[in-house]
Amino acid sequence: MAPLVGALARPNDLPFLEGVLRQADYWAVLWARTWRGVVASSFLSPFLYVLAMGVLLGGFVEADADQLEGASSYLAFVVPGLIAAHAMQTAVSETTYPVMGMIKWQRIYESMLATPLQPRHVVGAHLASVALHLAATCGLYTLVLAPFGVYESWWGPFLAFGSQVLTGMAFATVVYAFSTRLRSEEGFGVLFRLGVFPLFLFSGAFFPVGNLGGAAWLARLTPLWHGVNLSRMFALDNVTWWIAGVNVAVLVVVMLLGWRWSVSGLTKRMLA
């Protein structure tokens, strides 16, 4: 560990962007080797969700636009929220076991940090790869589902897409920070069971959170609700701009705090 400590202790004179770009070849090779699994997990499974929940189940849902937050059909209601929720799931999957693997099992981070790279460069490159994954997944969904009439304006898909990527990145930074501080992978089971799955079900992706009654305020405190609400407002062209501003502000603050915790977490973990 002595060489690694020495590398981390050297003056940080490598510009951030240059340090991130120096890792582009590694991530390009990794993507080339794993893109088939990424396509299957990131598109096929969620697409079946949309088919089952939006098309098949949605055919039995009779509700007017007031009950569906302005959506003309259940399909139009569920798609924007489901994509935002899937962005969260994608981000979490990319920042749990992969991060621990690069720290604990393959020890790839150790080799990276034995070079002039600093923790902020390593974190930045990893999160840039996550952002690319999110952009590809959410963009593909937007292209496929746009002809189904789930977007009410020409600009809606673009802003909804941006909100979905932002939602994913907010979770990516926080979960990355969590993973750097975790010593055993058993903690990921707790994260998925008590964090990801409840958020997926109760943050407004499948039904308006107003249906939760007195617990609705709790759902509105979660970052995923802000992402789902933002995505749906843009998709349905039913935007209350001050609420949209609050949604964006919450997601940006979570992302920035997560970034700070991620860099500090990786630095402390690799120096320990």
- Identify the pLDDT of residue 46: 66
- Region 7-32: what's the mean pLDDT? 80
Q: What is the pLDDT of residue 1?
A: 42
**Global confidence as pTM:** 0.89
Give the Cα separation of 225 and 171 in Å (integer): 12
The confidence score (pLDDT) of residue 68 equals 72
Does residue 153 carry a pLDDT above 80? Answer: yes
In the chain, pLDDT over 90 holds for what percent of residues? 57
Give the domain ranges of the chain.
Answer: 15-271
Amino acid at 125: A
- CB contact at 8 A, 118 and 19: yes
pLDDT tens column, 32-82: 887 776 666 666 766 777 777 666 666 656 666 566 777 778 888 888 998
Answer with the residue of higher pLDDT: 170 or 8.
170
Cα angle: 190, vertex 191, 196; to 5 degrees: 125
Element (H, E) at 268: helix 241-271
Residue by residue, DSSP assigns 14-82 as S-HHHHHHTTHHHHHHHHHHHHHHHHIIIIIHHHHHIIIIIIIGGGG----TTTTTT-SSHHHHHHHHH
Higher pLDDT pick, 37 / 107: 107
Higher-confidence residue of 117 and 31: namely: 117
Mean pLDDT of the 232-242 span: 93
The Cα 13–Cα 246 span in angstroms is 37
pLDDT of 6 strictly over 70: no
Residue 77: CB atoms within 10 Å: 29
C-alpha 153/C-alpha 258 separation (Å) is 33
CB atoms within 10 A of CB 149: 11
% of the chain beyond a pLDDT of 70: 86
Q: What is the mean pLDDT of residues 155-160?
A: 93
Residue 149 or 161, more confident: 161
Q: Is the pLDDT of residue 149 over 90?
A: no
Task: Choose among 173, 181, 169, 32: nearest CA to 104.
Answer: 181
Q: What is the pLDDT of residue 128?
A: 96
Average pLDDT, the chain: 86
What digits encode the pLDDT tens for the residues 123-141?
A: 999 999 999 999 988 988 8
- Residue 84 reports pLDDT greater than 80: yes
Encode pLDDT of 184-225 as tens digits.
Answer: 889 999 999 999 999 999 998 888 888 888 889 999 999 999
> What is the model's pLDDT at position 65?
56
- Residue 3's pLDDT is 44
